[in-house]
């Protein structure tokens, strides 16, 4: 049986529009059409499933217009939803604005996905070879964050990828430290490293908070990604050329492709190279879940 990717946390809907610029406070701008689509950690699911990795969601999907959209999209990817669907509320959504250079700005309104408990996660039939993906957004939630931390402490998965996200500085220290202690791949961008006072391309000081065999991947956009291992010199894996039109979900595409590549048996440098190619394809397209198919990725790598 192939390893499966289990997303522990939130799928939400993205409502995206292009804007010529962000409005000033109290101002207004005319934007493009609003596009509603599955987003949040669905982007990671889509990226991995398109590359042939089985996927599952240990998260809550609501009942309503947003939940119905997410339920259909999850079914289309063949994703197993491991928790009972909520009947007491809808899933959350994110309003996103995409500027001409592809940069995106979000405002998120959480829904039922923010309320995971220990009892919820205890209902899951976890597998020994599950690869778990954890997002820093979920670690911020008062119920979900501590529940995920306790899950990792008692489950001790072989593979845990943590993407702490842009709000890394707001995650409660005790929750973050517990999750880091069981993280095998920490994937974050240059800005997020700066928030915790770490360099991109020099030896890190975070090793005392991570397992001995952990890997830190510092994503640096058009410059590729720096790979850090304890007691080894960091090295950079170059990016693939791309003209950004929408950077939404670029890190998600990178993470999904990385985990799918490792599950396929690729070594770390080759897996990061494949993930860099997937991210380059994703940013060259509009849409949140813009990761490539296996055929598209093979063409880019060739």
Q: Domains in the chain: how many in total?
A: 1
1: confidence class by pLDDT, cuts 50, 70, 90: low
Question: Distance between CA 154 and CA 76 in Å, rounded?
Answer: 32
Query: Does any domain span residue 104?
Result: yes
Residue-wise pLDDT tens digits, 108-144: 999 999 999 999 999 999 999 999 999 999 999 999 9
- pLDDT tens, residue by residue, 169-192: 999 999 999 999 999 999 999 999
301 within a domain of the structure (yes/no):
no
In a domain, 179, yes or no: yes
Query: What integer pLDDT is reported at residue 287 of this predicted model?
Result: 83
Instruction: Establish if 70 belongs to a structural domain.
Output: yes
Q: What is the pLDDT of residue 106?
A: 87
% of residues, the chain, pLDDT over 70: 100
Instruction: Tell me what the mean pLDDT of segment 238-257 comes to.
Output: 92
Reported confidence tier of residue 249, pLDDT bands at 50, 70, 90? confident
What is the mean pLDDT of the segment spanning 74-91?
96
CA angle 217, 267, 294 (to 5 degrees): 90
Compute the residue count for the chain.
302
Residue-range definition of the domain harbouring residue 38: 5-22+31-294
**Residue 157 domain-assigned?**
yes
Sorting pLDDT into bands at 50, 70 and 90, what band is 194?
very high
Rounded to whole angstroms, the maximal C-alpha distance in the chain is 55
> Interhelix angle for 250-263 vs 268-283, to 10°?
150
The answer, yes or no, to whether residue 6 has pLDDT greater than 70, is yes
How large a percentage of the chain has pLDDT more than 90?
90
Q: Is the pTM of this model over 0.85?
A: yes
Residue 300 forms part of a structural domain: no
CATH classification of the domain holding 43: 3.40.1190.20
pLDDT for the residue numbered 2: 77
Average pLDDT over residues 239-243: 93
Under the phi-then-psi rule, with left for phi > 0, alpha for psi from -120 to 50, and beta for the rest, what region is 156? left
pLDDT tens digits for range 160-170: 999 999 999 99
Binned at pLDDT 50, 70 and 90, residue 154 comes out as very high
- Domain assignment of residue 122, yes or no: yes
Note whether residue 118 is domain-resident: yes
Q: What is the pLDDT of residues 23-52, one digit of tens each?
A: 999 999 999 999 999 999 999 999 999 999
Mean pLDDT over each residue of the chain, to the nearest integer: 95
| Edge-first strand listing for the sheet containing 11-18 | 35-40, 11-18, 93-98, 104-109
Query: Per residue in 200-231, pLDDT tens?
Result: 999 899 999 999 999 999 999 999 999 999 98
């Amino acid at each position: 049986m192939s390893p499966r990717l289990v997303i522990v946390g939130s799928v939400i809907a993205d409502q995206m529009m292009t804007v010529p610029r962000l409005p000033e406070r109290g101002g207004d701008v005319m934007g493009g059409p609003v596009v509603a689509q599955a987003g949040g950690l669905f982007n990671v699911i889509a990226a991995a499933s398109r590359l042939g990795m089985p996927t599952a969601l240990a998260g809550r999907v609501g009942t309503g217009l947003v939940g119905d959209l997410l339920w259909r999209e999850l079914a289309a990817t063949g994703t197993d939803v491991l928790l009972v669907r909520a009947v007491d509320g809808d899933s959350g959504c994110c309003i996103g604005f995409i500027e001409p250079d592809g940069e995106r700005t979000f405002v998120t309104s959480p829904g039922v996905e923010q309320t995971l408990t220990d009892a919820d996660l205890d209902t899951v039939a976890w597998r020994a070879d599950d690869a778990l993906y954890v997002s820093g957004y979920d670690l911020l939630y008062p119920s979900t964050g501590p529940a995920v931390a306790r899950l990792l402490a008692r489950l001790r998965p072989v593979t845990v990828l943590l993407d702490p996200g842009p709000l890394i500085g707001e995650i409660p220290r005790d929750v973050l430290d517990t999750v880091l202690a069981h993280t095998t791949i920490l994937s974050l961008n240059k800005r997020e490293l700066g928030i915790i006072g770490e360099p991109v391309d020099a030896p890190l000081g975070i090793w005392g908070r991570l397992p001995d065999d952990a890997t830190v991947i510092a994503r640096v956009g058009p410059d590729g990604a720096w790979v850090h291992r304890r007691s080894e010199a960091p090295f950079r894996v170059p990016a693939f050329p791309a003209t950004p039109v929408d950077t939404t979900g670029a890190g998600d595409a990178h993470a999904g492709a990385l985990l799918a590549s490792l599950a396929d048996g690729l070594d770390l440098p080759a897996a990061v190279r494949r993930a860099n190619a997937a991210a380059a394809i994703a940013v060259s397209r509009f849409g949140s879940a813009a990761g490539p198919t296996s055929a598209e990725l093979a063409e880019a790598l060739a």
